[in-house]
Amino acid sequence: MRATQFLIATEKETPADAVVISHKLMLRSGMIRKLAAGLYTWMPLGLRTLRKVEAIVREEMDRAGAQEILMPTVQPAELWEESGRWYQYGGELMRLKDRHNREFCYGPTAEEVVTDIARNNLSSYKQLPMNLYQVQTKFRDETRPRFGVMRAREFMMKDGYSFHASEESLQETYERMHAAYSRIFTRLGLDFRPVLADTGSIGGASSHEFHVLAESGEDDIAFSDSSDYAANVELAEAIAPTGERPAASATLEKVETPAVSSVEDVAKLLNIATSDVLKAIVVRGTSEAEDAEEGEAGEPVVLFLRGDHQLNEIKAEKLPGVLSPLQFASAEEVQKVGGVAGFTGPRGLSARVYVDRSAAHMADFACGANEADAHFTGANWGRDFEEGTVVDLRNVVAGDPSPCGQGTLDIKRGIEVGHIFQLGTKYSEALKATVLDENGKDRVMTMGCYGIGVSRVVAAAIEQNNDDNGIIWPDAIAPFQIGIVPMHMHKSEAVRNTAETLYKELTEAGFDVFMDDRDKKTSPGVKFADMELMGIPHRVVISDRGLEAGTLEYKHRNAEEKEDISADSVLEVLKQRVKLG
C-alpha cells in the first residue's frame, strides 16, 4: 500500500476521553473512530489488523474440526423466553421491537439460536459431536462503555458451541478447543496464559479463561513459579498453612480503641502487624423460613480473615448459608448477632461463623471485642472462643504456596480475551434439544461453549506491545509488516527506483508493505513518527547516501539501533526476519 493511496488518520494529540493506552493509540494511529458511546468505526488501518486476527481464529477453528456458520444478529424473544434469559438478562440486553410489535434482541451471545439450530437439524447421536462457530457482531448495552474497543457496546466475537451425546465427548472437544486456543494466541504473537476460571452460577464442570498478560489488565492471575498452574485469583485456592497452629502464649486483654476500627488503624495503635489482627466481615445469610423467596436475606453470617488478607467474594458466596450474590450486613444486622460494626470479634457471637484457613492458624492476635471502641489482644482460638468452620475465604497473594503442590504463586494482571466453558445441559434442557441415543431413546445433548473477543484481542495486543512512540505489532497481526521510507524520493531517481523495486518484490513475496511515498511537504520525521505510531514492525529506509555505499537502513520497531544491510540481500534478510502468521 502506498501512503498516498491510504487514509492516514494519525493524530498528535491524545484524545481527552481515552484512559487506557490501547484506546489512546488506536485513536491516535487512526485505527478506529468513535461514532457514539461504545460504537466505533474500524478505519482501514484498524480493519487490517482485525481481519488478520479473524483469519487466524478461523483457520485454527476449522483445523480443530469446528464448522463455521453465520447466525442473525437479531434474535427472536421467544427463544430467550424458552431459556429464561429474557427475564434474567439485565439492561445489557439490547431489546427491540419490529414493525409488527414482535420482540427481539440484538444478540450478545447465541446459545439460544445455536441450540435451536441443533434441535432442528440434529436427530441422532451419530451426528455428534458437532462443533459450530461464527465470527459475528455482538451487542451489549453496557451502562458505562469504556476503554475503546476493549469494552465497547458493539463488538466482534467468535462464539462457538459444541454438542455431545456424552460427557466424555464434551471433555474431548473441550481439550481440543483448549489446544486450538493456545495455538491461536501463540500464532497471534501474544504472551498469554490459559487460566482456570470460575464456572459461575451455571456450574459447568470446567472452565478456562485465556488472558493476555498486561499491566493494565482488569483481572489478577495467580501462577505457580514451578509448574503450569495458572488460575484467576477469583478461583485460585489458598491452601491451609502447613504445620500446627502456634500455641497460645499471651493472655486475653481488653484494650480501649476509641473510634479505631480499621485493621490498619488497630495494628498501628497496638503497634502490631496487620497479620496479627483478625478481620471480621458480616454478610447476609440465606433465609431459612419455609416461605422465604429466592434471594431473601436471613440471619447474618460472620467471616473472619487475617488482617492482611482480602476476602474472595466468589468463594464466600458459595458457602452454605451465605446469600449469593454477596451482600454486606447493615450495622443493625451486625448488632442482632452480638457484633458491633467496626468492633466485631469471635467472642460471644450468636451467628454462623466461617474462619479462613490462614486466620484459623493465628495465635495471640487482636480482634474486636463486640463492644464499641474496644478490642481484645492476646486472643486465641479454642481457648477464648470457638473457631467456627474453617474454609478457604481469601484471595491468594504472591508468595502463597501453589495449590498444585509445586512452587509458590506469583500474581500478574491479565486481559481476558477468550473463555471456554463446559456448559452442560442448561440450554439444551431448556430448549429440549435431544437426539436419539444408541437405544433409540431421547437424550438431551451436552454442550460446550467457546468464545474469543476478536476486537478485544486487538486492544489487548496493543496493551501488551507498545512504547512511548506508539504500537509495536507482532508480525502476524501487523496491519503492514514492513514500512519503506524512500528519502527525497522525488529528487532522487536512484532512491525512487530502488524503493519501487523493493516494494514490488516484497509485495509479491506476500508481505503487506507500507511505502511512504508522500511528497516533500511531509518531512522524514513525520513519516518515521507515523510508522512508529502505527506500529509497523520492520522499517527500511532508502537514501542516496546508503545507496552509494550499497546499503539500505533496517530497523526493527523494538530495536535500539539501526543496521545497514546490503541492498542485494535486503529481500532475503526480510524474508528471514518477518514471521507471517
Which of residues 15, 19, 67, 320 is near a copy of itself by CB under 8 A?
Answer: 67
Q: Which is nearer to a copy of itself, 10 or 166 (CB)?
A: 10
Distance (Å, rounded) from C-alpha 350 to C-alpha 388? Answer: 11
Asked if residue 475 lies in contact with residue 579, where contact means CB atoms within 8 angstroms, the answer is yes
* C-alpha cell of residue 32: 478506529
Please state the closest distance from residue 71 (CB atom) to a copy of itself, in A.
5
Distance (Å, rounded) from C-alpha 481 to C-alpha 581? Answer: 11
Q: Which is nearer to a copy of itself, 98 or 564 (CB)?
A: 98
Q: Which is nearer to a copy of itself, 127 or 350 (CB)?
A: 127
Cα separations in angstroms, 13 against 421, 466, 533: 42, 17, 12
Q: Which is nearer to a copy of itself, 156 or 302 (CB)?
A: 156
User: Does residue 124 bind a copy of itself (CB under 8 A)?
Assistant: no
β-pair type (434-436, 466-467): unpaired
User: Does residue 101 bind a copy of itself (CB under 8 A)?
Assistant: no
Q: What 3 state SS string does 477-490 have?
A: HCCCCEEEEECCCC
Which of residues 132, 362, 367, 565 is near a copy of itself by CB under 8 A?
Answer: 132
Asked if residue 394 lies in contact with residue 356, where contact means CB atoms within 8 angstroms, the answer is yes
Asked if residue 37 lies in contact with residue 152, where contact means CB atoms within 8 angstroms, the answer is no
Site map for a copy of itself, 147-176, x if CB under 8 A? ------xx----------------------
Distance (Å, rounded) from C-alpha 521 to C-alpha 256? Answer: 76
Which of residues 55, 59, 73, 252 is near a copy of itself by CB under 8 A?
Answer: 73
User: Does residue 98 bind a copy of itself (CB under 8 A)?
Assistant: yes
Crossing angle (nearest 10°) for helices 21-28 and 454-464: 100
Three-state SS at 111: helix
* Residues whose CB is less than 8 angstroms from the CB of residue 237 and which lie 6 or more positions away in sequence, other chains included: 231, 392, 396, 403
Which of residues 15, 19, 72, 550 is near a copy of itself by CB under 8 A?
Answer: 72
Distance (Å, rounded) from C-alpha 193 to C-alpha 464? Answer: 13
Residue 531 DSSP code: H
Distance (Å, rounded) from C-alpha 576 to C-alpha 578? Answer: 6
Please identify, among the stretches 112-120, 290-298, 318-326, 480-488, the one whose residues bind a copy of itself according to the rule CB under 8 A.
Answer: 112-120
Which of residues 96, 250, 398, 494 is near a copy of itself by CB under 8 A?
Answer: 96
Which of residues 80, 106, 174, 185 is near a copy of itself by CB under 8 A?
Answer: 106
Please state the closest distance from residue 51 (CB atom) to a copy of itself, in A.
8
User: Within 322-361, which residues bind a copy of itself (CB under 8 A)?
Assistant: none
* C-alpha cell of residue 456: 478485544
How many residues at the interface with a copy of itself, by CB under 8 A?
48
User: Within 24-63, which residues bind a copy of itself (CB under 8 A)?
Assistant: 33, 35-36, 39-44, 47, 50
Asked if residue 369 lies in contact with residue 375, where contact means CB atoms within 8 angstroms, the answer is yes
Q: Which is nearer to a copy of itself, 46 or 483 (CB)?
A: 46
Phi, psi of 154 (to 5 degrees): -100, 130
Please state the closest distance from residue 93 (CB atom) to a copy of itself, in A.
10
User: Does residue 6 bind a copy of itself (CB under 8 A)?
Assistant: yes
Please state the closest distance from residue 550 (CB atom) to a copy of itself, in A.
35
User: Does residue 248 bind a copy of itself (CB under 8 A)?
Assistant: no
The β-bridge partners of 210 are 194, 418
Which of residues 59, 141, 364, 387 is near a copy of itself by CB under 8 A?
Answer: 141
- Residue whose grid cell is 429466592: 294
Q: Which is nearer to a copy of itself, 156 or 213 (CB)?
A: 156
Please state the closest distance from residue 189 (CB atom) to a copy of itself, in A.
22
- Residue whose grid cell is 486476527: 53
Please state the closest distance from residue 223 (CB atom) to a copy of itself, in A.
36
Please state the closest distance from residue 408 (CB atom) to a copy of itself, in A.
44
Asked if residue 23 lies in contact with residue 150, where contact means CB atoms within 8 angstroms, the answer is yes
Q: Which is nearer to a copy of itself, 33 or 443 (CB)?
A: 33
Phi, psi of 494 (to 5 degrees): -60, -45
* Residues whose CB is less than 8 angstroms from the CB of residue 88 and which lie 6 or more positions away in sequence, other chains included: none
Interface residues with a copy of itself (CB under 8 A)? Answer: 5-7, 9, 33, 35-36, 39-44, 47, 50, 65, 67-76, 91, 94, 96, 98-99, 102, 104, 106, 113, 116-117, 120-121, 127, 130, 132, 137, 139, 141, 143, 153-154
